[in-house]
Each structure stands twice: as structure tokens, then as C-alpha cells.
């Protein structure tokens, strides 16, 4: 008698609650969440897309070492103004600098996504890597002093790439967006669904109720 194939295990290599919520939105519930702890400083002369993809790949491979038989999903979100990579704002001055740079201008949000698919025994184990880069263009309104102060007071910028979170109050500061909204929040759902489907991950079960 042959044993049925084991259900694949999905590990989300991220500390971002937004990524977990986004996946849940499309019915994907990871079996485990295991963040990688990495130095996210850009390399010298590293361009925003290279940076996003490198970090997503490093997060994925760091976590894959702990889960050799699982599917690993990792991502990195970079906010870029020209060649410049904006920081993940941790301090108020950083967030203010980001907002003043973004005010009235178009910028790019680059998402690097890496999916590691475990190899079968016949393939000799190891993981196969699938990656994608997603770009969304975002234009902020011109921010005056009181709008900037109010946004800073909200504290929502903390730990966010580029010092803002489109899914919160900064939604009111965005004049125009071109491309994937979920990519800005942290993970393009269209891309990730396509990557999982294309690699043979079982589809999400039907939703028990409407959102």
C-alpha cells in the first residue's frame, strides 16, 4: 500500500503582522510564522530592486535552514525615491524626513518575494527558488506642516518602510496609486497567489463566509 503524499507545510518567514493578515485575506493560513533576524542595511550602491530581492532571499534561506521540508515564503518591502532607499522609520526625525521627501512627489514601492519549494527525495531534497519583484507607483499629496504633525502624532509610521502605512491614516495622503495595493502594504496578493499556484501548492479552501 502506498502512503498518501504529506500535505505541504507553509512557513511565513516574516515578523510583519500585515503579511500574515494579507495571506489570510486570500485564505492562506501558514502552518508556522518564523521570522528571520537579519541586518537590513543596504549594500553600497545597491539599487532598490536588488535590495528588496536580496533581503527576501536572505530571509527565506535563513528560515529554510530550520524547516528543510517546508515551503518558505519571505518578502521585503522597499520605498524608493529615485535610486534612494528610504529607511524603515524607527525615530520621529526619520519619519519626518521621509514625509518631507515624499510630499507632492511620486515614489516607488518595490516588493521582493521569494518562495522556496522543498525538493522531493528523487530530486535530492533542498529547495527550489521562485522569486518576483513587484513595483507600485505612489503619489502623495503636498503635505503641509499640520498634516505632517498629525501623521507623526498617530505613530503609525513606526517600523514602516518609507515612514508611512497606506492601510492606515496615510491612506488619506495618497493622491494616486499605480499597481498593486497589497504590494504597498507588504505582499502582492496577486503575485503570491500566482507563485503558489504555479508551483503546485494546494488552493485555499472555500471561504465559510463573506468578508
Contacts with ligand TTP, residue ranges (CB under 6 A): 14-16, 18, 35, 40, 59, 76-77, 79, 88, 109, 160-162, 164-167, 184-186
Q: How far is the CB of 36 from ligand TTP (least distance, A)?
A: 6
Q: Supply the minimum distance, in Å, between the C-beta of residue 6 and ligand TTP.
A: 26
Nearer to ligand TTP, 119 or 177 (CB): 177
Cell of 185: 502594504
The residue among 36 and 117 lying less far from ligand TTP, judged by its C-beta, is 36
Annotate 81-146 with three-state secondary structure: ECCEECCECCCHHHHHHHHHHHCCCEEEEEEEEEEEEECCCCCCCCEEEEEEEEEEEEEECCCCHH
Q: How far is the CB of 128 from ligand TTP (least distance, A)?
A: 21
Least gap, CB of 161 to ligand TTP (angstroms): 4
Taking the least distance from each CB to ligand TTP, the nearer of 31 and 123 is 31
Residues 6+ apart with CB under 8 A from 26: 189, 192, 193, 204
Query: Is 37 assigned a catalytic role?
Result: no
Q: Residue 78: how many CB atoms within 10 A of its CB?
A: 27
What residues contact residue 57 under an 8 Å CB cut-off, 6+ apart?
74, 112, 114, 129, 131
Residue closest to ligand TTP when measured from CB atoms: 14
CA-CA distance, 149 to 147, in Å (whole number)? 5
Burial code of 88-98, b = ≥16 C-beta within 10 A, e = fewer? bbeeeebbbeb
Which residue out of 31, 76, 131, 137 is catalytically annotated? Answer: 76
* 67 vs 88, beta carbon nearer ligand TTP: 88
The residues carrying an active-site annotation are 76
Amino acid at each position: 500500500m502506498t502512503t498518501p503524499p504529506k500535505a505541504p507545510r507553509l512557513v511565513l518567514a516574516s515578523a510583519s503582522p500585515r503579511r500574515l493578515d494579507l495571506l489570510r485575506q486570500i485564505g492562506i493560513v501558514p502552518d508556522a510564522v518564523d521570522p528571520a533576524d537579519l541586518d537590513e542595511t543596504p549594500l553600497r550602491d545597491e539599487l532598490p530592486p536588488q535590495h528588496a530581492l536580496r533581503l527576501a532571499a536572505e530571509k527565506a534561506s535563513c528560515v529554510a535552514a530550520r524547516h528543510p521540508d517546508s515551503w518558505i515564503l519571505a518578502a521585503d518591502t522597499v520605498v524608493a525615491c529615485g535610486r534612494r532607499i528610504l529607511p524603515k522609520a524607527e525615530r520621529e526625525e526619520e519619519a519626518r524626513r521621509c514625509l518631507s521627501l515624499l510630499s507632492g512627489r511620486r515614489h516607488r514601492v518595490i516588493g521582493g518575494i521569494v518562495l522556496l519549494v522543498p525538493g522531493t527525495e528523487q530530486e535530492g531534497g533542498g529547495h527550489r527558488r521562485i522569486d518576483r519583484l513587484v513595483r507600485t507607483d505612489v503619489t502623495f499629496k503636498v503635505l503641509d506642516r499640520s498634516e505632517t504633525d498629525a501623521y507623526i502624532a498617530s505613530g503609525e509610521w513606526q517600523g514602516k518602510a518609507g515612514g508611512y502605512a497606506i492601510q492606515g491614516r496615510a491612506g488619506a495622503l495618497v493622491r494616486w496609486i499605480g499597481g498593486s495595493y497589497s504590494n504597498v502594504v507588504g505582499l502582492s496578493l496577486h503575485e503570491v497567489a500566482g507563485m503558489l499556484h504555479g508551483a503546485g501548492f494546494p488552493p485555499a479552501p472555500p471561504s465559510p463566509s463573506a468578508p
